[in-house]
Amino acid sequence: MDEIAELAVGYGVDSFLYGGDPAGLEVFALEIVPEVRETVGRERARL
């Protein structure tokens, strides 16, 4: 999660593709993505 947030905040990357195991897609979508959004929002508010 930290690596994705760093790419978004530090480098302006705004789109990510999931290319992992299809069984992990649900975890990515329901757990990782919301956490990254929260982190990015918090970090951008500090800038």
Contact status, residue 36 vs residue 4, Cβ threshold 8 Å: yes
**Residue 6 confidence (pLDDT):** 97
CB atoms inside a 10 Å sphere around CB 32: 15
pLDDT number for residue 34: 97
The whole-model pTM stands at: 0.84
Phi-psi region of 18 (alpha: psi -120 to 50; beta: other; left: phi over 0): beta
Please tell me the total number of residues recorded for the chain in this structure: 47
Token couple for 42: 């918090």
Q: In this predicted structure, what is the pLDDT of residue 47?
A: 83
Token pair listed for 13: 């990357």
pLDDT at residue 39 in the model:
97
Within 10 A of 14 (CB to CB), how many other CB atoms are there? Answer: 8
Residue 8, pLDDT score: 97
Mean pLDDT, range 1-7, rounded to an integer: 96
Model pLDDT for residues 9-36, shown as the tens digit of each residue: 999 999 999 999 999 999 999 999 999 9
